[in-house]
Chains A and B, each alone.
Chain A
Amino acid sequence: MAELTLDSITKIFTDDDGSDIVAVDDVNVDIPDGEFLVLVGPSGCGKSTTLRMIAGLETITEGEIRLGGERINEQPPADRDIAMVFQSYALYPHMTVKQNMSFGLEESTEMPDEKISEVVTETATMMGIEDLLDRKPSELSGGQQQRVALGRAIVRDPEVFLMDEPLSNLDAKLRSTMRTELQRLQEDLGVTTVYVTHDQTEAMTMSDRIAILNDGVLQQVGTPLECYHEPNNEFVAGFIGEPSMNFFEMAVEDDQLVTEQFTYPISESVRSEVDGHERVMLGIRPSAISVEVGAMPADDHDFATVVDVVEPMGDEENVYLAFGDERGDSVETFVATVGGMQRLESGQSVVAHIPESAIHLFDTDDGTALKNRDLEDLDERDPHLQ
């Protein structure tokens, strides 16, 4: 077991026409021993490249990767004591499950055959695939192949697990089961794990910490709730959370924020946060908005809206609201999440309450967070948040 350090690593690909593409730009992350770190970001953000650099499958243009304090930049993949689970599972199609799982031990250790067989059987039992040991990968379901791929990584007993979107080829139901299982497995084994995904739900639910990448640049590293409640910038705020945060670009006028659609009064303390900015981006989580039917706007932060579309999820509903009383394709809407028992219908007039304590404000130029929501009420419930 060891901690993994990414020290200002950069990857530049040179295109055929000689132009450079910066895939990963000066990324710094310290991953303590036993941590489950999820690298998350949209497609093409450099997360897989980062993982492949850790594995040794890509060279590192600049910077240093250290495993247990030792520089591993120049080590070939085989010497790094790292096991990787691929999105396609990458099982060897001509070998049985047992041969697949034994391969790594046969190639990288001096272990005698009986010992290998013992370790493989043990791991297979732990993964619940002991009945499949004599089958070929083509005779297995997606979920079973996934387990074999994991088992193959586990038998190696490596310092670090790398996982490249390992669940994305599974159906939704199996994916959520495997999510829990993987998390439990990682906790039991206590092996440092770097997990790449584009799915923010996986990132939120599985990780000890999330590292969010965009365009090769590290946006934020933090616990899931830190990233959710205290995003560093607009990108993180929009990426984490489902449905996404609502954003309104607004002009700052004295003690209120103004758009064509609505005017949002702000208190003295919030005003001081946006000093010197003419325009700001206001962000509000759908779950922070409360919706009331049949009431009149009672205070400054209540707004008369009309329901455009309702997406029932069962236990809750995503409601798309438009300011004023017009709705249709041309009207911009925002989302609020309400309880599933609150029956709303398209076209209904409702009052949306956007509490000032829950708003986020971002710089319109570089997206930096100027103000995040107040967390006094959350502190006691969540020990992760400082």
Chain B
Amino acid sequence: MSPDRPRQTDSGILGRSWSRIGLYAFLLGMVVFYLIPIETGLATSIKRAGDFTGRNPYLPPLPWDATLASWSEGFFSLLDGLINSLVLVVPATILSGLLGSMAAYGLTTISWRGQVGIYSLFVAGIFIPYQAVLVPLTVFWYNIVPIQDWWLESVANGISVFGLFEIPSTFMLLGWELGFQPYHWQLISLIITHTAYGIPICALLFRAHYKKLPDEMVEAARLDGASIRRIYRRIILPLSVPMFAVVFIYQFTQIWNDLLFALILVQNNEAAVVTQQLVDLGASQEGVDYPLRMAGAFIAALPTLLVYVVFGDKFAKGVAA
């Protein structure tokens, strides 16, 4: 650095420091503005249900009034829902990411007649609102392809007629080993729905990534004797890792936070996902238990934050790529 630089700052120190103070004050204001809701939520969640009214909601409780009772109650009330949500979100996220990546590969890296038309359908798929498909979706999963009923039937038969239907029962045993419950199969239709709904946006994100990969590299692989499938497996897939991080975070958050599809497709209480359970948490005849609801909301949001922390560095790479 040049030696006369400090002198320059000296000469304007007063003007500079005032604008600095203004800037920091503004930034501090922004921080407070953004953090107040979270702070309020946290403060509320550790208050006693009775203490909530009558005190300033922004202020934390007095130390001897603070309690983690709402957190533990919330956690145990939502535990089944959290597990159900995980059973739903993990396969749906992985499937939509993987299928979206494959679709993008087929639509971008390989050229064939009519791919632009197919791609426009994918793009259109992104803009179909959830509300528009509620009725068709219900009819589809309850009348046309009642997959839940089929599953229950085959499971029932599989257990009653031992030996003849060994495949479903094997699945069941395997499932129990891993901590799955029979009612988790009711989430299949939801997994498939979210996967299908996620494929277009995933394909769009992957396509943008694949367009930037050099054509010559894929051509070199073709000349090296690799088939279309092998090129995907050995060249494209390993180079998609940063984009997978983006897609996984996005899809995980989307599916985890969804309530609408879950409400219409999961009608059995046992299989209810965490967003469904959150609706009822802390609501009773006597009134709303706000500390419990706040703690529940934090608990329900935690997994999406964890996913971001785990994939965060790759996410940044993928967004920048």
Contacts and interface: CB of A to CB of B under 8 A. Distances in A.
Interface of A: 55-57, 76-78, 82-84, 86-88, 90-94, 103-104, 107-109, 152, 156
B80 to A, nearest CB: 41
B220 A90 contact: yes
A90 B225 contact: no
Contacts of A92: 217, 220-221, 235
A109 B225 CA distance: 9
A56 B222 CA distance: 10
A148 B214 CA distance: 18
Contact of B222 (A57, A88, A109, A156): A57
B226 A103 contact: yes
A152 B217 CA distance: 13
Interface residues of B, number: 17
A86 B226 contact: no
Given A104-B224, A107-B230, A94 B219 contact: no
Contacts of A108: 224-225
B225 A107 contact: yes
Contacts of A55: 219, 223
B220 A84 contact: yes
A82 B223 contact: yes
Majority secondary structure of chain A interface residues (helix, strand, loop or mixed):
loop
Contacts of A104: 223-225
Interface of B: 214, 216-217, 219-227, 230, 234-235, 238-239
Contacts of B238: 94
Given A92-B235, A103-B234, A107-B230, A84 B223 contact: yes
Contacts of B225: 78, 104, 107-109
The 6 closest A-B pairs by CB, nearest first: A108-B225, A104-B224, A90-B216, A90-B220, A107-B225, A78-B225
A90 B224 contact: no
User: Which interface residue of B223, B225, B238 has the most chain A CB atoms within 10 A?
Assistant: B223
Given A77-B223, A82-B223, 12 more contacts: A57-B219, A86-B220, A87-B216, A88-B214, A90-B219, A91-B217, A92-B221, A93-B217, A103-B234, A107-B224, A107-B230, A156-B224
Contacts of A87: 216
Contacts of B234: 103
B221 A103 contact: yes
A60 to B, nearest CB: 16
Contact of A78 (B214, B216, B217, B223): B223
B200 to A, nearest CB: 25
Contact of A107 (B214, B216, B226): B226
